């Protein structure tokens, strides 16, 4: 599992993409969860349906463990209290992994990422 985040203010024009997704821009916290281990679909589904209200946006690909899903990656999108999941095939050269970025205010990333880690198979 890899966690990328920092807590300093980066609100000046010209920030790199990496800074935008791993810090605090204009008062919005962000953090990235990445894991090459497949995720348990039931546990992850329950967790993503119960995201804290401090998260206002999340997006990324999910690697689910199941007999038929191993050839599929799932695009997760979350805005407000609405979420969606769509599937696409992994390419032959693509690393199978979960990579999710979260945006919000006062997010407890340690707790959120530990809960996601607990969904790994």
Query: Tens digit of pLDDT for each residue in 16-67?
Result: 444 444 556 567 899 999 999 999 999 998 988 889 989 999 999 999 987 5
Q: What is the pTM of this model?
A: 0.76
Query: What architecture is the 2-117 domain classified under in CATH?
Result: 2-Layer Sandwich (3.30)
On whether the CB atoms of residues 58 and 51 are closer than 8 A, the answer is yes
pLDDT(1) > 60: no
pLDDT(9) > 50: no
In sequence order, what DSSP letters do the residues of 42-108 get, joined into one string?
HHHHHHHTT--TTEEEEEEEE-B-STTGGGEEEEEEEETTEEEEEEEEPPTTSPP-EEEEEEESS--
What is the residue extent of each domain of the chain?
A: 2-117
**Strand-pair partners of 87:** 74
Query: Tens digit of pLDDT for each residue in 57-109?
Result: 999 999 998 756 678 899 999 998 788 989 999 998 999 999 999 999 999 99
Per-residue model confidence (pLDDT) at position 77 = 95
pLDDT(15) > 50: no
């Amino acid at each position: 599992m890899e966690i990328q985040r920092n807590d300093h203010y980066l609100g000046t024009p010209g920030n790199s993409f990496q800074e935008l997704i791993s810090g605090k821009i204009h008062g919005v916290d962000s953090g990235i969860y990445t894991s090459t281990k497949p995720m348990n679909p039931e546990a992850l589904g329950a967790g993503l349906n119960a995201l804290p209200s401090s998260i206002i946006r999340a997006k990324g690909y999910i690697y689910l463990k199941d007999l038929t899903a191993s050839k599929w990656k799932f695009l997760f999108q979350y805005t407000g209290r609405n979420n969606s999941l769509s599937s696409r095939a992994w390419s032959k050269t693509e690393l199978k992994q979960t990579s999710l970025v979260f945006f919000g205010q006062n997010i407890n990333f340690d707790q959120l990422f530990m809960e996601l880690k607990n969904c790994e198979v």
